[in-house]
Amino acid sequence: MSDRERLIERMKSIMGPKGVVSDHEQLRTYECDGLMNFRVRPTLVVLPETAEHVQRAVQVCHDEGIPFVARGSGTGLSGGALPHEQGVLIVLARMREILEVDIPNQRVVVEPGVINLKVTQEVAPEGYYFAPDPSSQLVCSIGGNVAENSGGAHCLKYGFTTNHVTALEVVLPNGEMVNLGSKSPDPPGYDLVGAFVGSEGTLGIATKITLRIVRQPETVQTLLAAFPSPDDAGGAVSDIIAAGTVPAAAEIMDSLAIEAAEAAVHPGYPDADAILIVELDGPAAEVEHQFDEVVRICEENNSTEIRIAEDDAQRALFWKGRKAAFAAVGRISPDYFVQDGVIPRTALPEVLRKIKQMSDQHGLRVANVFHAGDGNLHPLVLYNGNVEGEAERAEELAGEILVLCVELGGSITGEHGVGEEKKHYMPKMFSEDDLNTMQLLRCAFDPHALSNPEKVFPTPRLCGEVRPGPRRIHPVEKAGLAQVF
Ligand SMILES: Cc1cc2nc3c(=O)[nH]c(=O)nc-3n(C[C@H](O)[C@H](O)[C@H](O)COP(=O)(O)OP(=O)(O)OC[C@H]3O[C@@H](n4cnc5c(N)ncnc54)[C@H](O)[C@@H]3O)c2cc1C
């Protein structure tokens, strides 16, 4: 019996034959996440149904020195759930139970495979919702949201996933199970929940997640304003925030993104070079006052048309095009890269001008969608993979945009994570010492680098990364320095 066959038998004994995928053709289903440029077929896929299954599967991997990668719904856009070719992919999609709803304490406890939107659907009748709302919320999992510290249109006011997770049950890479955080806020000791959220599957696997839910606002008002340029729309967002109003959401789309959304979901947007969607929520009296101010600021920034949502149906229509924007680009281009960078909000006009110059230089179109309030850009670089060299040019252009973001004091990712895709850009943003410090934390959780190895960090450091073939002991680990952890 080969090592692989023995591994298959061990995993089947844990989660039954239906919980193991080993057929080479079936494994192809799992060879990439939402970033399809990278593809790797794992040795094996396991589909645990319980936290105990996860723990036992990780214990097997640890005992055998086999890398493993967690996967939720596979919608990640940075190759975070890309399998390891000699590793086990642990898919949490069958762990979809909402374990506890504690309305008086505003907490919901879920298994990691629960779909983001399900949490809100569960608590909506009680007047609550789960605030982080990635555009993929119909399909992405809470486990994936935790690992990526996902954001969404409404994170400007309410914060990212990290602000809405208070406790985690985690299977560590050595197979131990630990509880981090608590139901109540600010427990003593290190903030290990904070460290785990956004760690992209490199510190272990979350098997139970305690979420904070918030009360539905008394009033929501949404407007859609058309502008002659994205600069004007960006100016309006800066002025709104400078005036002391924090909108629940402030989203900009440029003309190419509008064209794509129209082609895909027909939201009936005005014919403009940019549109801005602003949503305000809170007590009715406050929202009404702020809304008048927002309308005035849009007009002062050269808005050519302002539409105010009269009811939920119209509000949903405003959002329909924005929420569908990434996929919609497929209507106007055979292939595209979704880029994700952050800039200081005030640098928006300069960045847009430079993106336009780069796009002309590379002969490729770029559609722009922004979480404008947070300065989070999503340039969508359009290309045709069948034209020789275009994919490479598109990748280069997408990379140049990231470097520009960093040069202006921003970040290489706002919400999609580093994963496989952006690990080589980490040194553009962090010094050697910064990266080593992050790696110290990683090594404390995972000294053998088994949990989602070779992601996030550009090169193996300190305790080393697992490579295909026999595990390589990094010289520093050999010298015993890893013992300090
Ligand atoms: C059309 C579209 C729109 C999107 N819009 C947004 C958006 O608005 N905002 C945003 O932030 N993102 C967005 N995304 C990206 C993506 O949906 C999010 O990153 C999401 O959180 C990924 O969840 P998932 O369940 O698909 O995770 P996966 O893709 O399966 O995994 C993502 C990462 O999480 C790790 N992971 C998964 N589960 C666990 C677990 N239980 N424990 C530890 N690690 C785990 C994986 O190893 C991987 O590193 C979008 C994606 C698409 C395709």
Cβ(149) – ligand 1 distance below 6 Å: no
Residue with tokens 């058309």, as numbered in its chain = 226
Rounded to the nearest angstrom, the gap between the alpha carbon of residue 366 and the centroid of all alpha carbons in its chain is 21
Same domain, 210 and 237: no
106/42 same-domain check: no
Q: Is 92 in the pocket of ligand 1 (CB under 6 A)?
A: yes
Closest Cα partner for 43 from 56, 24, 25?
24
Task: Label residue 61 exposed, middle or buried (CB < 10 Å: 0-12, 13-18, 19+).
Answer: buried
- What pLDDT was estimated at residue 459? 75
Sign of CA dihedral 292, 293, 298, 299: positive
> What residue type is 438 in one-letter code?
M
* Residue 15 CA, distance from chain mean position: 29
The predicted pLDDT at position 373 comes to 87
To 10 degrees, what angle do helices 348-362 and 230-242 make? 160
Chain CA centroid to CA 107, Å:
22
What pLDDT, on a 0 to 100 scale, did the predictor assign at position 345? 85
Distance between alpha carbon 64 and the CA centroid of its chain, in Å?
31
The tens-digit pLDDT sequence of the chain (485 residues) is 899 999 999 999 999 999 999 999 999 999 999 998 899 999 999 999 999 999 999 999 999 999 999 999 999 999 999 999 999 999 999 999 999 999 999 999 999 999 999 999 999 999 999 999 999 999 999 999 999 999 998 899 999 999 999 999 999 999 999 999 999 988 899 999 999 999 999 999 999 999 999 999 999 999 999 999 998 999 999 999 999 999 999 999 999 999 999 999 999 999 999 999 999 999 999 999 999 999 999 999 999 999 999 999 999 999 999 999 988 999 999 999 899 999 998 888 889 889 999 999 999 999 999 998 889 999 999 999 999 999 999 999 999 999 999 999 999 999 999 999 999 999 999 998 889 889 999 999 999 999 999 999 987 665 654 444 444 444 444 444 443 33
At 283 the pLDDT is 94
Residue with tokens 């470097």: 403
Which atom of ligand 1 lies at the shortest distance from residue 204's CA? 43
Boundary of a domain, candidates 163, 188, 215: 215
Phi–psi pair at 383, nearest 5 degrees: -155, 170
Residue nearest to atom 49 of ligand 1 (CA): 80
Between the CA of residue 354 and those of 172, 291, 400, what are the distances in Å?
44, 32, 10
Q: Which domain holds residue 367?
A: 333-422
Q: Which atom of ligand 1 is nearest to the CA of 201?
A: 44
Closest of 257, 248, 255 to residue 294, by C-alpha: 248
Q: Report d(CA 352, CA 360) in Å as an integer.
A: 12
Contact by Cβ (8 Å): 426, 396: no
Confirm or reject: Cβ of 152 under 6 Å from ligand 1: yes
Spatial neighbors of 36 by CB under 8 A, at least 6 apart, are none
Q: Could you report the per-residue pLDDT of 222-281, keeping only the tens digit for each?
A: 999 999 999 899 999 999 999 999 999 999 999 999 999 999 999 999 999 999 999 999
Q: Residue 300 sits in a domain of what CATH number?
A: 3.30.70.2190
Same domain, 226 and 317: yes
Q: What is the dihedral of CA 212, 418, 137, 153, to 10 degrees?
A: 80
Task: Say whether both 340 and 306 belong to one domain.
Answer: no
What is residue 462's predicted lDDT score, i.e. its pLDDT? 59
Which is it for the CA torsion 346, 350, 351, 352, positive or negative? positive
Residue nearest to atom 9 of ligand 1 (CA): 134
Whether residues 356 and 385 fall in one domain: yes
Do 178 and 119 share a structural domain?
yes
Residues 106 and 54 both lie in one domain? no
Closest by CA position to 152, among listed 34, 248, 42: 248
Q: How far is the CA of 247 from the centre of ligand 1 (A)?
A: 25
Q: Is 327 in the pocket of ligand 1 (CB under 6 A)?
A: yes
Res 483: pLDDT: 39
Provide the pLDDT for residue 460. 63
Q: Tell how far the Cα of 270 is from the centroid of ligand 1, in angstroms.
A: 32
First to last CA, the chain: 37
**Is residue 134 within 8 Å of 153, Cβ to Cβ?**
no
Structure tokens at 337: 């890269």
Q: Is 413 in the pocket of ligand 1 (CB under 6 A)?
A: no
Judgement on whether residues 107 and 182 belong to the same structural domain of the protein: yes
CB of 136 within 6 A of ligand 1: the answer is: yes
57, 43, 61: which is closest to 14 by C-alpha? Answer: 57
Residue 239 and residue 204 in one domain: no
- 124 Cα to the center of ligand 1, angstroms: 23
203/104 same-domain check: yes
Cα(466)–Cα(481) distance, rounded to whole angstroms?
18
Q: Does ligand 1 lie within 6 Å of residue 453's CB atom?
A: no
Whether 275 contacts 228, CB under 8 Å = no
From CA 223, how far away is CA 295, in angstroms rounded?
A: 8
Q: What is the CATH number of the domain that holds 10?
A: 3.30.43.10
Statement to judge: residues 135 and 225 lie in one domain: no
Q: Which CATH number belongs to the domain containing residue 401 in this structure?
A: 3.30.70.2740
228 and 318: one domain? yes
140 lines ligand 1 (CB under 6 A): yes
CA separation for the pair 273, 256 (Å, rounded): 8
Contact 352, 289 (CB under 8 A): no
Q: From CA 8, how far away is CA 303, in angstroms rounded?
A: 62
Residues paired with residue 20 on neighbouring β-strands, in sequence order:
46
The conformational region for residue 206 under phi > 0 = left, psi -120 to 50 = alpha, else beta, is beta
Neighbours of 409 (CB within 10 A): 11
Secondary structure class of 254 (helix, strand, coil): strand
Q: What is the pLDDT of residue 185?
A: 85
Joined together, the tokens standing for residue 117 give: 């939107």
Cα–Cα distances (Å) from 188 to 108, 180, 185, 193, 392, in that order, read 22, 11, 10, 12, 49
Total domains present in the chain: 5
* Cβ–Cβ under 8 Å, residues 316 and 309: no
Q: Provide the pLDDT for residue 358.
A: 96
